[in-house]
Chain A
Amino acid sequence: MNNPSVHFDGVSKVYPHFSLDDLSLELPTGTIMGLIGANGAGKSTTIRILMGLVHQDQGRVHVLGREMPREQAAAKLDIGFVSEDMRLYGSATLAWHMKFVRSLYPQWDQSYADTLLRRFDLKPQQKIKGLSHGQRVKAALLLALARRPLLLVLDEPTTGLDPVARQEVLAELVAVLTDEDRTILFSSHNTSDVEQISDQITFIDRGRIIASDDKEKFLDRWRRLRLVLSPEADLPSLPGVVEVGGSERLPVLVTNRFDPAMVSACNDAGATVQAVDPMTLEEIFVANVHSRREKQTV
């Protein structure tokens, strides 16, 4: 098995009002991981530690086999990084940025950069300050992709874009990502963006990883069951129930370990299963967060 591209082992970082707590994470080479969390959950701190821009207080971080932050310069030679708070120089043209980045990366692929210019509909002679926000994000993506990185790190790249620009950027990103196998870490609080791109999902909340698995496993295992209880029946005991809502007679259960056999188990217990609804990634994330927070407060 290949070494993971990213390996976090017991990483902690304490700020006065926020802490990243004992974070362990592996991103296998060739996978696209979506890092989902609410604003302030710790996504950007995690990514900054990954990039070597913030030092962890405890724990070890290896990226592409390099120890971070000590070997950050060597590691960043093979990382393409785009973040929501990253801006290019407004007074310079995209062509100047391309020339500048090319001078730092021996593996810069000019023909691929030209392809991306056409695909993203960008004009190299245009100054960055004259570009729309969507075009600026595309320009930053071009600069990250044309250096042919082994690892692409995208920290909320679609935040702040209007819906049209967001869909354009995502569509282009999906098209670009199908070009070849890449290892990608994509963070967002927008689950639908992550769902379109990722094959692995990690949920982070209040500085802790609360779940990490294949996207399909999440979507397969999480279900919302709408039951009708007969007056004499009790709520059946089902595995993996993380949330109970609805009313006493018409309960709605959310389980993270759904199995078709549950339906017959409910029927046997005197409960009729009215519907088994699949859940979106956003619903799974919200249910997961609520369940963990309730456990913490108990």
Chain B
Amino acid sequence: MNYAIVKRLVLKDWYLQRWAIMASLAGVVVTLGIIATGGKVAFLLGLILLIMVIISIGAQMAVATIVTERKEQTLPFVMSLPISYREYTASKIWGNLLIFLVPWLTMVLGSFGLLLWSPSSRGLLPYAAIMSTEILLSTCLILAVALITESQGWAVAAIMVGNLAVNGIGYVVAHIGGIAKGMWGPTIQWSGAASAVLLAELTIVALLLGGTFFVQSRKKDFL
């Protein structure tokens, strides 16, 4: 693996998507600001907007840097460069994850900060960690589907599944005994159930990314 080439390709995608990255960062900061105003309505509105912004940036990046690259026929230009399939796949995974991690980490640190700052909502921290990781998982799913299929239709389907999963898992996790118990309390209660869910999410993330590499390395036609 030529990491210097992978880095160049990642920087290329960062440059080409710089306005979307900046817009998503601004969106995250604004929504965190809404949440910080303190009201219950502001909290709910800000939270919904925050999740929307984060999911959107992950989906937008996968579509713009992978599906659109094929659709707008810039893929032959990229593949004419001295790179292999593995390096292309690595650059897309790293590029997309790093782009996504900027607003995602801002969201995670911002929301954790807000939860810790407000003593009455500290109990929500395990749930927030699980849901933040679920958003990361959904983004990895969209990324994997976009890379493997290079199809707009499949990518849209993955975005829908990812969105539904965030809502569905959010509901289910909020009703798991070990997690629900201390959710609305003033202290952080990190249960075994919370750890298990988080570990499962991280395992699926690893499987999705590893599986994407595996499938891509077995592809016989790249254009």
| Known pairs A48-B223, A54-B221, A87-B73; A92 contacts B83 (CB<8 A) | no
B82-A76 in contact (CB<8A): yes
Selected contact of B74 from candidates A87, A96, A105, CB within 8 Å: A87
Across the two chains, which residue of chain B brings its CB closest to A90?
B72
A binding-site residues for B, Cβ under 8 Å: 48, 51, 53-55, 72-74, 76-77, 79, 81-83, 85-92, 96, 100-101, 103-105, 140, 144
B81-A55 in contact (CB<8A): no
A76-B81 in contact (CB<8A): yes
Shortest 8 CB-CB distances between A and B: which pairs? A81-B80, A55-B220, A86-B76, A77-B82, A87-B73, A76-B82, A73-B84, A53-B223
- Chain B residues, Cβ within 8 Å of A72: 84
B222-A73 in contact (CB<8A): no
A101-B76 in contact (CB<8A): no
Q: Is B8 part of the binding interface, using a Cβ–Cβ cutoff of 8 Å?
A: yes
Q: How far is the CB of A140 from chain B (nearest CB, A)?
A: 8
A53-B222 in contact (CB<8A): yes
Complex interface residues of chain B between 5 and 46 (CB less than 8 A to chain A):
5, 8, 12, 15-16
Question: A48, A86, A92, A140 — which one has the most chain B CB atoms within 10 A of its CB?
Answer: A86
| Known pairs A88-B74, A89-B74; A73 contacts B82 (CB<8 A) | yes
Sample 6 A-B pairs with CB under 8 A, ordered by A number: A81-B76, A81-B80, A85-B73, A90-B72, A140-B77, A144-B80
B binding-site residues for A, Cβ under 8 Å: 2, 5, 8, 12, 15-16, 72-74, 76-77, 79-84, 87, 220-223
A90 CA / B216 CA spacing, docked (Å): 27
- Chain B residues, Cβ within 8 Å of A86: 73-74, 76-77, 80
- Chain B residues, Cβ within 8 Å of A103: 8
Total A-B residue pairs with C-beta atoms closer than 8 Å?
Answer: 67
A107 CA / B79 CA spacing, docked (Å): 19
B83-A73 in contact (CB<8A): yes
A86 CA / B78 CA spacing, docked (Å): 9
| Known pairs A85-B73, A87-B73, A96-B15; A105 contacts B222 (CB<8 A) | no
B87-A76 in contact (CB<8A): no
- Chain A residues, Cβ within 8 Å of B80: 51, 76, 79, 81-83, 86, 144
Across the two chains, which residue of chain A brings its CB closest to B79?
A53
- Chain B residues, Cβ within 8 Å of A104: 5, 8, 81-82
A54 CA / B76 CA spacing, docked (Å): 12
B73-A101 in contact (CB<8A): no
- Chain B residues, Cβ within 8 Å of A74: 82
A245 CA / B40 CA spacing, docked (Å): 90
B2-A73 in contact (CB<8A): yes
Across the two chains, which residue of chain A brings its CB closest to B1?
A73
- Chain A residues, Cβ within 8 Å of B83: 73, 76
Q: How far is the CB of B201 from chain A (nearest CB, A)?
A: 34
- Chain B residues, Cβ within 8 Å of A83: 76, 80
- Chain B residues, Cβ within 8 Å of A92: 15-16
- Chain B residues, Cβ within 8 Å of A48: 221, 223
Q: How far is the CB of B220 from chain A (nearest CB, A)?
A: 4
A92 CA / B72 CA spacing, docked (Å): 14
| Known pairs A54-B220, A54-B223; A73 contacts B76 (CB<8 A) | no
A73 CA / B89 CA spacing, docked (Å): 14
A89 CA / B12 CA spacing, docked (Å): 10
A105 CA / B81 CA spacing, docked (Å): 9
Selected contact of A87 from candidates B16, B77, B84, B223, CB within 8 Å: B77
B87-A73 in contact (CB<8A): yes
A96 CA / B220 CA spacing, docked (Å): 31
Q: How far is the CB of A109 from chain B (nearest CB, A)?
A: 16
Q: How far is the CB of B60 from chain A (nearest CB, A)?
A: 15
Q: How far is the CB of A52 from chain B (nearest CB, A)?
A: 8
Q: How far is the CB of A79 from chain B (nearest CB, A)?
A: 8
A53 CA / B83 CA spacing, docked (Å): 10
- Chain A residues, Cβ within 8 Å of B84: 72-73
